[in-house]
Chain A
Amino acid sequence: MLEGINKIGDLEWEVPVGYVPDMRVPGRFFLSRALAETLEEGAVRQLANVATLPGIVKHSLAMPDIHWGYGFPIGGVAAFDRTEGVISPGGVGFDINCGVRLITTPLTEADLAGKKRELIEALFSVVPTGVGARSAMRVSNKELTEIMVNGARWAVERGLGTPEDLIRCEEEGAMPGAEPDAVSAKARQRGMPQIGTLGAGNHFLEIQVAREIIDPEAASVFGIAEGQICFMVHCGSRGLGHQVATDHLRTLESALGKYQIRLPDRQLACAPIDSPEGRAYYGGMACAANYAWTNRQVIMHEARKAFTQVFGIDYDEMRLIYDVAHNVAKFERHDVDGASMEVCVHRKGATRAFGPRAPGIPREYAAVGQPVLIPGSMGTSSYLLHGTATAMQKTWGSTCHGAGRVLSRSKAKKAIRGRELREHLAQEGILVRAHRDSVLAEEAPEVYKPSHEVVRVVHEAGLSGIVARLEPLGVIKG
């Protein structure tokens, strides 16, 4: 482990006040010895930098997929006092409400035999992917306003989903406090042609099989069984969200002097939660988050139609288990030293993992906690977990969001050939469809930490419990 960091539990580490100047609270992160080998000093420094922000409560936290980002580390979680704290776009990231949803189907692997290629091509043709992707759906400026306020409900009201979909979605697909006036004309212009598009990078739509059920009781509550074919959607708020982040980061950065906030990193630009700039960022971020939920809803709808077309199954037989956000800031009530306190929880590359009977989770899941979805990297397993009471106590009800990179894209491109990788995955029964093979190399399985190790750590640390392991069978990428 790096120097100056203290071990405080089997999988828990503390970054003491003083690791960087002006820290207000200690940092804490969760990591196994194996994962510690790839821990970057820059990531720990970023975790410590977050601890310097005004109004931070208890700890600056990071999940076991911690890695070096900008502003907050990726895998970072921090809560700020509602009255004295700040809100920061650097604690959310450019892709506001990047997230994941998981849908079950009535199919088994045997049903896919001989039809997988057809399914992948059908999905690739209805879900636009990659840079420059445009939606077949055109929305007006007025409709875009409705999307930003009503989120996934907008899509369901137009027949692009079912009312049950909304119940099984974080915030029921629309977080409160959206302020369309805080979204610039530029953001709107980018958002209008991109509803229902996947984007690029690590975003994907994947066909999976529930290969292993680890917690049968929770699996039964979530409605997933061994051998069942599922699909997973991983994407965010597209150009609209990127523009909202860019616009407000700039405003907040210019306002630092006004609020006399001194920062170790300009990317941590922030403003008091109750300032005009802070409120505007929150309102704009909520609009982008709601856009992202609509986006995933529309993509799921198109994918359901493709499954129906290829296999003749009913639309209603494809059940959304849950949809989680892993880049967002939210107002939540948590217990702090025995008292209930309202805080603004930032999760940047971290997933909400509310435990049993926590407010805001679907009633049907109350006994086991909310479903948590951890996407694997291309070719590796994804996981379904459940939230826990321990996460509520230790991490503001949060857990990891993915594997976390270990190899840069430039090194990956030198070391790995996209075409060979595609052929190798095909031999393993995983069909990959993208515009170019070159994009595959950057997202190859070996550029990420092993997702099973990251998931094992959150399971053993009690931050969430593993329910099922899902193996990829086919994927479309940007």
Chain B
Amino acid sequence: MSFEELDHTADVLMRVRGATINEVFADAGRAMFHVMYGPCEDRGIARQITLEAEDLESLLIDYLSELLFITDAENLVFCTFDVDLQGTRLSAVVRGEPFDPARHAGGTLIKGISYFGLEIVKEEDAYVVDIIFDI
């Protein structure tokens, strides 16, 4: 399970790699919250997400957009992401804590997830996707 920030002039480009698609989705969420808030702890807040889309790429965008909605609307910060995919149906439980200005302020606000160049690629032993977060 991993993610790394690649160079992108205007926005944040993250390469996410996982042994399974579930891991890729979980780490994509982790990468996004890492950009926005930095450190986070599970303090008993949990939210359930269920989604369905026509393909995995659209599903990934819908899932990350849903997380953006929840964090902005409810002022919550998430750190663990349990994702279960059945084809192009997703159910996830995300856990974290309320936004705390002392620890979470000063991060980078993500405005949206770009379709540009977004493709989940199967490599020999892993799935990889490059995601552009608009900031």
Contact = CB atoms under 8 A, between A and B. Distances in A.
Interface of A: 40, 67-71, 74, 93-95, 130-132, 134, 186, 189-190, 199-201, 239, 242-243, 245-246, 249-250, 253-254, 265-267, 269, 405-411, 434-436, 438-439, 442, 478
Contacts of A246: 65, 68, 112-113
Contacts of B75: 132, 134
A70 B11 CA distance: 9
Q: B5, B73, B113, B135: which has the most chain A beta carbons within 10 Å?
A: B73
16 contacts: A70-B116, A93-B134, A94-B111, A130-B109, A131-B104, A186-B73, A200-B107, A200-B109, A242-B68, A265-B116, A266-B116, A405-B9, A408-B7, A410-B8, A434-B106, A435-B105
Contact of A435 (B101, B134, B135): B101
Contacts, number: 117
B135 A409 contact: yes
B108 interface: yes
Contact of B107 (A71, A131, A190): A131
Interface string B10-43: 1110000000000000000000000011000000
B111 A242 contact: yes
B10 A435 contact: no
Contacts of B11: 69-70
Tell me whether chain A's interface is mostly helix, strand or loop, or mixed.
mixed
A253 B59 CA distance: 13
Given A405-B9, A409-B12, A411-B7, A70 B115 contact: yes
Contact of B134 (A70, A189, A199, A434): A70
Contact of A242 (B9, B37, B101, B112): B112
Given A242-B68, A406-B9, A408-B7, A70 B106 contact: no
Interface of B: 5-12, 36-37, 54, 58, 61-62, 65, 68-69, 72-73, 75, 99, 101, 104-109, 111-118, 132, 134-135
Nearest to B70: A186
Contact of A40 (B9, B61, B65): B9
Nearest to B105: A435
Contacts of A269: 115
Contacts of A243: 69, 72
Nearest to A434: B106
Nearest to A71: B116
Q: A186, A246, A406: which has the most chain B beta carbons within 10 Å?
A: A246
A266 B99 CA distance: 33
Contact of B72 (A93, A201, A239): A239
Given A131-B36, A132-B75, A245-B112, 20 more contacts: A70-B117, A71-B114, A93-B111, A95-B111, A130-B106, A131-B104, A131-B107, A132-B105, A200-B109, A201-B135, A242-B111, A250-B58, A267-B115, A269-B115, A405-B9, A409-B108, A409-B135, A434-B106, A439-B106, A442-B108
A253 B10 contact: no
Nearest to B35: A409
Contact of A186 (B5, B7, B69, B114): B69
B33 to A, nearest CB: 11
A74 B112 CA distance: 15
B101 A410 contact: no
A215 B101 CA distance: 45
Contacts of A406: 9
Nearest to A46: B116
A190 B134 contact: no
A253 B113 CA distance: 14
Contacts of A405: 9-10
A266 B7 contact: no
B112 A201 contact: no
Contacts of A132: 75, 99, 101, 104-105
A130 B7 CA distance: 23
A94 B12 CA distance: 14
Contacts of B134: 70, 93-94
Contact of B105 (A250, A410, A436, A442): A436
B108 A94 contact: no
Contacts of A439: 106-108
A143 to B, nearest CB: 18
The 5 A-B pairs at the shortest CB distance, nearest first, are namely: A436-B106, A70-B116, A94-B112, A200-B109, A266-B115
B105 A131 contact: yes
Contacts of A131: 36-37, 99, 104-109
A74 B8 CA distance: 13
A406 B68 CA distance: 27
A74 B116 contact: no
A132 B104 CA distance: 8
Nearest to A242: B111
Nearest to A239: B72
Contacts of B61: 250
A470 to B, nearest CB: 24
Contact of B115 (A74, A253, A410, A438): A253
B121 to A, nearest CB: 16
